[in-house]
Structures are given as structure tokens and as C-alpha cells.
Homo-oligomer: A and B are copies of this chain.
Amino acid sequence: MKKINTTAISGMQELMPEAQATFDRLKDKISEVYHQHGFLSIETPMIERSEILLAKAGGDTEKQIYKVVKTAETVDDADQALRFDHTVPLARYIVEHESALSFPFKVTQIGRNYRGERAQKGRFREFYQCDVDVVGRGSLPLYYDADVIATLLDVFSEFKLGTPVLARISNRKILSGFIAEYNLEAKASEIFNIIDHAEKVPEEKTKSAFSEIGLGSERVETMMSFIEIHGGRKEVVAELKNLSISNDTFISGVNELDEVMKLLEIDGYTESISADMKIVRGLDYYTGTVFEFNLSEYSHIGSVCGGGRYDNLTGYFTDQKFPGIGGSIGLTRLFYVLAENNLVKSQEEKSVDVAVIPITNDELEYSMKVAKEWRGKGNKVTVVAGDKRLGDKLTYAAKIAKNAIVLGENEAKTGNYEVKKFN
């Protein structure tokens, strides 16, 4: 009889061991690929002073933050909260440790973040984010934009999901310049916001949203055909140039997009990338390259990875310039949608390689010896001890292990035993 509610708190993922093993395998793979591309791991505290977290945030973020209150009288009582992403703590870390770091600083952070969102299916209040960032001091070559996207593409190819991933890339300067060309700067943030949501609503809704912010029907059509532009680098760059827009920001955005995609083509990613004017990213700290990844055959699950360039990451903490390019895989949500779509189920397997089963306690000593031998050969091995009947021990072993070795009097005497493989 339960005496108390023992469910996990709503919005927090809690997995059974088999699913946890699959989750961990994805997490380890991400970390491995990030390291292969020369990113260094760091870990910042889960708790930050609120003034750090809220230096910029405001709005939704501030509403979703978890404040932390110590109950002890013995400790200082600064206003503290749980981090909601890795980007703000990274900015603090870089400003704090700047003199001890080498730039460009290629860095990865893999850990949990917290947002008190409204609880709903597939949305989490505690979630893993797996970030890569390259941060320069003063300046940062465009090469690293391609480097980050290539790294993230390699992660998805290593996941072996059996379905292709597409990196959809744009550059915020293109849309900014486009908006300026048509003297719509005053409505820029609304326009970014409408385009950012365009894929989640019917086309008519996007049109009427443009109308509602005061665009005439001709401008609405201009915007609608602009956001339809997508495809291979050469076609998209040609199409954008054909718009004959003279705004400098626009031109520099098109050139940067061209350059980043060219580098990715050189690196062998031509089939996995697409230029796409619908990609703008909601967060207003992005200043150049922006990207989102989709699983082409599962477009309903939305983006599985995203990121971009932010030239003013540390602006709230210091006057020094640290431009960066970063991307993030929201692993908790990704794992949830992959499982929902049966894209990871097949990777689940039992974690223990061999269960060694002494038939009676007389064979425990020999079982420990056999277990040690198999462990020495790199296997994950457990001994099933105790007074239970052999049948019960085998049932247990079949649930946790891939193989069993049953040891009775005869096996202990002769040293010969069989390895039984479970299906």
C-alpha cells in the first residue's frame, strides 16, 4: 500500500532503465561527435544569480523561471534561480574566465535546463539541451558557422534514425535588409514573429497576420513569395539576387549564406542542406546565420535542432565583443518525439551482457570467478545470487541480460559451461 503520491513532478521526464539506456546512448553519441569536432566540454552551475539570468530575458522567460530559495539561515540569501538555457551561463563563463581561455573557444555544454511552462504532452519543464558554440574574441570567421552546422549534421547521421535530416539555413541579415528595403523597419519584430510561426499555421492565417500589422495586399504578396524561397544554394542565391534589392544588409546576408553553404558543400553536405527564407528563429539575439533541422519525412514533429550566430552574446555583462555561433539539440523533447514515431525503439536492448546463475549457493564462489573472467573480457556481467529456484533466476536473467550462464555442481567441477542466449 502506497502511503504517499510517488509520481515524478508533472513536466519532468522519468524513464524506465531500458529507455534510459537508449536516451544515454543518444546523449553519449552527441558528446562523442562534438568532441570529434574539437569542442571542449564545460559545465556551469544549475543555479545562477537572477540578475545574470534576467539581464536580458524578460517576457516569457521571466515568467517561466524557477526561483531558488535556501531555507538555512547560515547561508547568504542572494536572489537565485535555475538556468533556463546554456547560453546565458556561457556568456557569464566567458566574461569571467576570458583570460584563461583560448579563442576561438569551441565549447559544448550538455545538461538540464528548467522552464516552468504550462504542462502538456511532449513539453518538458526539465529538459536536456546539448549545445555547441564557437565564440571568438573581437571577431569570428564565417567558417565556424559551417563548422557548427556540419558538427550537428554528423550527430544526426550517427544517430542512424533511418530517415534523412535536412539543415534549413538562412541569415537574419537577408530578412532585415528586405524589411529595410520596403521601409518596414517599424514592424520588423512582428514580421520576424509571423514568419517564425508560418509553418505552424495555414497559409491564410499568415496572410491575415501580415494584413493585421498593416501591410497592404501587394506587400503581403511580396512577403508571401519571399518566404516561399527555398532550395539549393545556387538557385536561392540567384533568386534573391534577382529581387534587385540594393540594401547593404540584405546583400551581405545573401553573401554570408552563400559562403556558409559553399563551405558545407565542400565538406560533403550538399544533400543535407537547403537555403530557406522561412527560417528566422524566434530569439532576438541572433544576428546572422540561422538554421533549423527537420527530419524531412516527419515534418509534423517540427524542428529537431536549431541555432545561429549572435554577435553580441556578452553585451549585458561586458563592453568587450565576443561574437559566437551556436546550435542546440533539445534531447529530452527529441527523444520523446523519436520514441513516439518509433524511430528509436529498435535501438533498445538489454544493458547487461551476461547473467551468471549459480544453481545453489555452493556454486556462488565459482560463479563469481566466471563473472570476473567475462567482465575482464569487456562484458557487463551480473551474478544472480540467492535462494530462489532456478526457474525464477532464469526469468529474472531473461529480463535484464542478453545471455545466461547457469552453473551447477557439474560445471563447477569440470569448468565447462554453456552460454545460453536469450531472444
Contacts and interface: CB of A to CB of B under 8 A. Distances in A.
Contacts of A76: 10, 119
Nearest to A367: B143
Interface string A90-116: 001101110011111011000010101
A161 B417 CA distance: 37
Given A4-B55, A76-B10, A102-B400, A36 B380 contact: yes
A383 interface: yes
B386 A143 contact: yes
A271 to B, nearest CB: 16
Nearest to A19: B42
A109 to B, nearest CB: 10
Interface stretch (A64-72, A279-287, A302-310): A64-72
A107 B352 CA distance: 12
Interface stretch (A229-237, A316-324, A341-349): A316-324
Interface string A126-165: 1000000000000111011001000000000000000000
Interface stretch (A44-52, A173-181, A188-196, A242-250): A44-52
B52 A364 contact: no
Contacts of A95: 2, 6
Contacts of A107: 17
Contacts of A36: 375, 379-381
A64 B68 contact: no
Given A21-B40, A66-B70, 16 more contacts: A4-B55, A6-B318, A8-B45, A9-B80, A12-B47, A15-B43, A16-B42, A38-B380, A40-B351, A64-B72, A67-B69, A67-B71, A71-B116, A106-B382, A141-B386, A144-B385
Interface of A: 1-17, 20-21, 24, 35-38, 40-49, 51-52, 55, 62-76, 78, 80, 82, 92-93, 95-97, 100-104, 106-107, 112, 114, 116-119, 125-126, 139-141, 143-144, 147, 263, 266-268, 316-320, 351-352, 355, 364-365, 368, 372, 375, 379-383, 385-387, 396, 399-401
